[in-house]
Amino acid sequence: MKNHLVPKSGSKVKLQDYDPDFRGDYDKAKAVAETDQLQDKLENLQERLYAENKQSLLIVFQAMDAGGKDGTIGKVFEGINPMGVRVASFKVPSAEELAHDFLWRIHQQVPPKGYIGIFNRSHYEQVLVVRVNALEPKEVWKRHYDQINEFERLLADSGTRVMKFFLHISKDEQKKRFEDRLKDPEKHWKFSMGDLPVRERWNDYMKAYEDAISRCNTDYAPWHIVPANTKWYRDLVVTKAIVQTLEDMNPAYPAPEPDLDKVVIPD
């Protein structure tokens, strides 16, 4: 069993090899304390990114239903200045979106310089739901892998770092979470009858994810497979990976205007 990690670029990923229950040697208290510290770093790095105004970071979240996309986004970014972050959720495409190429609606939501952009679902739906449900013929969707790689390369070459997270839960864990949603009236809104036929195709989705991760796991836009059955461990893994990436981007405050030490603010 492998831990949370970035698979080797070019290797064939088998999700069975990745344990969604993995927690390393963490218990909840230790994970939460470490996540708190990392969140302080994240806040500071985000402020520097915004002040520097030269690079941006795009973070893609993909998961099965109840995989924790919303929960992760809410937790990891809870302390971040909302001014510097934009979340985009991609639903079933509208008629206008369908009248364009599949990246048209995606490209518009890519974060501009200084910003962190969060994708709740993404262009990867085009090789997941579209493939599993044959919404496009195979000749069409099979070309999307290369097109996605080229698109992400364009972003990387243009100053946008791209990271992609697959929140990996087990089929049993999804069942538990669906049952919780059905039990709790405040969670009913999160349950949709449409989630059940998707669950029936679980194995097809896992294959589609394996191909998406294997074929689009590049050095410039890596996939992270996150063990996500345990929410506090999932949040730790995601926060840590984002902090590491931002540290590597190393955004700097712009140089101050000269002679600030001589400025006297008039009464």
Contact positions vs Mg ion (CB under 5 A) = 65
**Strand duo 160-168 + 116-120: pairing:** unpaired
Residues 246 and 48: their CA atoms lie apart, in Å, by 10
Instruction: Work out how close the CB of 2 gets to Mg ion at its nearest, in angstroms, rounded to a whole number.
Output: 28
What's the longest Cα–Cα distance across the chain?
71
Which one of 30, 41, 121, 201 is in contact with ligand ATP (CB under 6 A)?
121
The interface region with ligand ATP, picked from 37-45, 125-133, 213-221, 226-234 by CB under 6 A, is 125-133
For residue 65, state whether it binds ligand ATP (rule: CB under 6 A): yes
Residues 239 and 183: beta-carbon distance below 8 Å: no
How distant, in Å, are the alpha carbons of 116, 184, 265 from that of 103? 19, 37, 50
For residue 208, state whether it binds ligand ATP (rule: CB under 6 A): no
User: Which entry of ligand ATP, Mg ion, none binds 235, CB below 5 to 8 A by partner kind?
Assistant: none
Nearer to ligand ATP, 14 or 100 (CB): 100
Residues 242 and 79: their CA atoms lie apart, in Å, by 14
**Strand duo 85-89 + 116-120: pairing:** parallel
Compose the 182-201 pattern: x for residues touching ligand ATP by CB under 6 A, - for all others: --------x-x---------
Residue nearest to ligand ATP (CB): 125
Nearer to Mg ion, 65 or 152 (CB): 65
Nearer to Mg ion, 63 or 242 (CB): 63
For residue 138, state whether it binds ligand ATP (rule: CB under 6 A): no
Nearer to Mg ion, 29 or 92 (CB): 92
Handedness of CA 195, 196, 197, 202 (dihedral sign): positive
Residues 104 and 123: their CA atoms lie apart, in Å, by 10
Residue nearest to Mg ion (CB): 65
3-state secondary structure 4-54: CECCCCCCCCCHHHECCCCCCCCCHHHHHHHHHHHHHHHHHHHHHHHHHCC
Interface ranges with ligand ATP (CB under 6 A): 65, 70, 90-93, 120-121, 125-126, 129-130, 135, 190, 192
